[in-house]
Copies of this chain bind each other. A is one copy, B any other.
């Protein structure tokens, strides 16, 4: 029983079922097959996949890219593009969605497996560069930050001084200091640089 949950977005039922079969051979769980964009969004929300495979038939169908953008803005999972052929043109068009890789059709079980394994492996390294999220912090560690603490932590992370934070958020420097101290206490650090390092570690965990 694999704990890797794959979402397949592919409008060709035959191909989709084929992929599903291949994945199940290597013991992945296929949480669903989406034939349309709306189905994809629904399955993303309801099945919490570990990774998504998105079909892109460049030309009229740009749903894959839209779904990719939706994943980037709403979820924290990697995705791979399934594409019939690869060219500089395609790469340029979809690069900005930051896929973890491409799977060029036709592919066999091992191609699929390799691509997914690498994607998952690389993703845990990559995600650390993205904007820090409160959920990530609170879920990936035993600390529980409040909303304001998290906001201030982000400002610290981006290099602002207490005074700058105070101005930006229309509160007094004293208030900021209090929050900062509470944050330090929760993170078990004693200064800004260590707080940043602590966050880096959590994001990279």
Residues of A at under 8 Å CB distance from B? 85-88, 91, 95, 98-102, 104, 110-111, 113-114, 117-118, 121-122, 125-126, 128-129, 156, 158-161, 189, 191-194, 196-197, 204
The 9 listed contacts between A and B (C-beta, < 8 Å) are A86-B110, A98-B125, A104-B111, A122-B122, A126-B129, A159-B193, A159-B194, A161-B193, A192-B192
Which of B126, B158, B189 lies in contact with A125, CB distance below 8 A?
A: B126
A111 to B108, CA, bound (A): 13
Chain A at the B interface: mostly helix, strand, loop or mixed?
A: helix
Query: Which B residues are in CB contact (< 8 Å) with A189?
Result: 159
A154 to B98, CA, bound (A): 29
- 3 tightest Cβ-Cβ pairs between the two chains A and B: A159-B197, A86-B114, A159-B194
Within the complex, the shortest CB–CB distance from A120 to chain B, in Å, comes to: 10
A111 to B88, CA, bound (A): 12
**B104 A91 Cβ-Cβ under 8 A:** no
Within the complex, the shortest CB–CB distance from A163 to chain B, in Å, comes to: 11
Query: Which B residues are in CB contact (< 8 Å) with A88?
Result: 113, 117
A91 to B128, CA, bound (A): 22
Query: Which B residues are in CB contact (< 8 Å) with A111?
Result: 86, 104
Within the complex, the shortest CB–CB distance from A2 to chain B, in Å, comes to: 11
Which of B87, B101, B114, B193 lies in contact with A193, CB distance below 8 A?
A: B193
A95 to B85, CA, bound (A): 27
Within the complex, the shortest CB–CB distance from A52 to chain B, in Å, comes to: 16
**A117 B100 Cβ-Cβ under 8 A:** no
A98 to B131, CA, bound (A): 22
A114 to B85, CA, bound (A): 10
Within the complex, the shortest CB–CB distance from A201 to chain B, in Å, comes to: 10
Query: Which B residues are in CB contact (< 8 Å) with A128?
Result: 129
A97 to B167, CA, bound (A): 46
